[in-house]
Chain A
């Protein structure tokens, strides 16, 4: 498998605080890599290092096979676009002027493609409106358009949906999917809004306290997030006794609820429970969410 970004034992220390502590990860080409972690886990620090805004304390990373210590890393960064935390836009300029300014920075000979970029991010009708009066979603989309100048192969987005309203979230999500599917751009997206990430990502990297806890594909995660049946019964002890006798895995939630992790003949189970003096009140299929999987990975304690 080809990787566009690889890190190896990457560390970043701020005096005594270890923002990254031996982080090792790989972003496959063509993926939407969801970088999941709590606030302060080290997501933004990693992105800053990749973008050249900060230097690692130790360890190394590669962008398109070029190590960070290599002078050619500048050329590799040219194949990358990024929106780090807040979009990098001149607030006193229009969307078009912002893109022209980025074209100048990149040294592109002509302003070709600006119209297409504005259409791609849905800002073609902003006219002479200054970026300062844009909504947060529009600024975010303009930030992505600026990151897309120079047609990068890798797009790095740091918390792109933070602070957006539901409509804005949908727009950004659709844009990211469009870029990945139509333009074959690899996307590294960091977020702590796991539900939203699960609608996008093809690969995941779970980070906690500056370390990658687990890397997996969306398929592997789907398998890991186990489905269960949540049963509401009148006598949870009788339910436990019956399930124990069948050797079925379960988890008691409270005095009347339990999760059962198995494919069962529920008619048979209901009859057996009835014989034990327990009635089944409700049953519903329940997926273990990405959140609970993440919590189980990082332990749920405060960092």
Chain B
């Protein structure tokens, strides 16, 4: 398995798509760190500063595009056959693919997260909290995410029916959209929020007034319970948690330490390493089982 893993990594590192994904990820990381950090500092919204702004999503999409294109190419060119003929089992091929795509994912995320951390740290004067733990957890989550993605890709491209493959791809897209939406709802503001209204007076001047308004995204009751459960088991949502709370303001730079502590406890509850490992093993097991049953063309 080591040999296939190395050969796959070499293939990734020689692929222009990989470097394109790195550039996209790096640029979005720099933007996130410098531009967003600067403006959030200006707006005094330190506590809500997260790395899962839309620019962080670019890194995920760059990663997904890179891995799916490279994996898809592996199947399209038929090079997976030479590995099976060389005496490797389907399980070994699958695990090697999942491991290689996880390493690629870590690389792509790293070039996004590092400039973001530097930027946010510089502009918002935030201090890293338990950074080692967070990096380890982020690694787990990205590997977990890529395992899940490898499973989806492997299944989708080994199905014979184009219609089935297309439906599967569609389900995956919906899943991604749902996962991100879920993250949004989970982290949504309270039921009521302060909204700024603009009013044009008779003399042509604009008057701004602030008033409480109902938050249309607020989820309550049974729906909230479902969202919580899904958020707890979904690696994408969990990834959002890690990135959202990678920095907590220190006491000197932020007065709202109570709120920071509250979010920190939430973060720790969601990112349970045991759960992550169990989830990773489960995804890998499903992936191997599905892949082994497929006929390779």
**A residues near B, CB below 8 A?**
48, 51-54, 73-78, 80-82, 84-93, 97, 101-102, 104-107, 146-147, 150
Contact = CB atoms under 8 A, between A and B. Distances in A.
29 contacts: A48-B296, A52-B89, A53-B297, A54-B295, A54-B296, A74-B88, A74-B89, A82-B85, A84-B78, A85-B78, A85-B297, A87-B78, A88-B78, A88-B79, A88-B82, A91-B77, A92-B15, A93-B14, A101-B10, A101-B11, A102-B82, A104-B6, A104-B7, A104-B10, A105-B83, A105-B86, A106-B86, A107-B2, A150-B86
A230 B203 CA distance: 112
Nearest to B4: A105
A78 B295 contact: no
A104 B84 CA distance: 14
B78 A86 contact: yes
Nearest to A12: B295
B87 A77 contact: yes
Contacts of A74: 87-89
A275 to B, nearest CB: 66
A48 B15 CA distance: 29
Given A86-B78, A88-B79, A150-B86, A53 B296 contact: yes
Interface in B263-297: 295-297
Contact of A89 (B6, B79, B80, B296): B79
Nearest to A91: B77
The 9 lowest CB-CB distance pairs between A and B, nearest first, are A74-B87, A104-B7, A107-B3, A77-B87, A53-B296, A88-B78, A88-B82, A78-B87, A54-B295
A88 B81 contact: yes
A56 B18 CA distance: 38
Q: How big is the B interface, by class? A: 20 to 34
Interface of B: 2-4, 6-7, 10-11, 14-15, 73, 77-89, 295-297
A80 B295 contact: no
A114 to B, nearest CB: 15
B94 to A, nearest CB: 14
A75 B7 CA distance: 20
Contacts of A86: 78
Given A53-B296, A54-B296, A90 B79 contact: yes
Contacts of B77: 88-91
Contacts of A85: 78, 297
Contacts of A76: 87
A16 to B, nearest CB: 15
Nearest to B7: A104
Given A77-B87, A106-B86, A84 B79 contact: no
Contacts of B87: 52, 73-78
Given A77-B87, A80-B85, A86-B78, A105 B295 contact: no
Given A74-B89, A77-B86, A150-B86, A105 B11 contact: no
A101 B3 CA distance: 10
A51 B83 contact: no
Nearest to B17: A92
Given A51-B85, A88-B79, A106-B86, A101 B7 contact: yes
A147 B78 CA distance: 13
Nearest to A78: B87
Nearest to B10: A104
A12 to B, nearest CB: 9
Contact of A105 (B7, B15, B297): B7
Nearest to B160: A14
A91 B73 CA distance: 9
A42 to B, nearest CB: 14
Contacts of B6: 104
A215 to B, nearest CB: 24
Contacts of A90: 11, 73, 77, 79
Contacts of A88: 77-82
Contacts of A107: 2-3
Nearest to B6: A104
B157 to A, nearest CB: 14
A51 B7 contact: no
A90 B10 CA distance: 13
A104 B3 CA distance: 6
Contacts of A73: 87
A102 B77 CA distance: 14
B97 to A, nearest CB: 13
A51 B3 contact: no
A51 B88 contact: no
A76 B14 CA distance: 32
Contacts of B73: 90, 92
A192 B203 CA distance: 90
Nearest to B83: A105
B82 A52 contact: no
A53 B86 contact: no
Contacts of B4: 105
Nearest to B81: A88
Nearest to A108: B3
A92 B72 CA distance: 13
Contacts of A81: 85
Given A52-B89, A104-B10, 10 more contacts: A51-B84, A51-B85, A53-B81, A74-B88, A75-B87, A77-B84, A77-B86, A81-B85, A89-B79, A105-B3
